[in-house]
Amino acid sequence: MPELLIEQVRLYSRGQWVGEIVLPDHQFKSPLLIYEWQGGHRAIHRSCPHKEYDLVGCPISRGGVVICPWHGLPVSVVDPKTSFHVIQRDEQFFLQLT
């Protein structure tokens, strides 16, 4: 399965990292939030899909949902429509593309 290196990764808080995807031509960057989830890692876009509130620092619920503090939109870190599978290898994170 193809993978994409997540760049500029830094630990934000326990179990939560920030990073970004940069396409090879550098024409597109997408900031991500990476969460520890059930022994692995999942990522969502850092901006809320409603009005782009920065979700950094938002906790994840037991059900794998991040609630945007601005208007309350739930963003699933489990649903493949809103999140990505992440692999950690050699202290680097990779987005697994399906």
Angle value at C-alpha 88, between 82 and 91, nearest 5 degrees: 135
Q: How far is the CB of 10 from ligand FES (least distance, A)?
A: 23
Angle value at C-alpha 20, between 18 and 23, nearest 5 degrees: 170
Enumerate binding residues for ligand FES (CB under 6 A): 48, 50-51, 53, 68, 70-73
Tokens coding 30: 């997408």
Tokens coding 1: 């399965």
Nearer CB in complex with ligand FES: 18/68: 68
Nearer CB in complex with ligand FES: 45/85: 45
Residue 97 is classified by DSSP as P
Is residue 5 within 8 A of residue 23, CB to CB? The reply is no
Q: How far is the CB of 70 from ligand FES (least distance, A)?
A: 4
Q: How far is the CB of 75 from ligand FES (least distance, A)?
A: 8
Nearer CB in complex with ligand FES: 30/88: 30
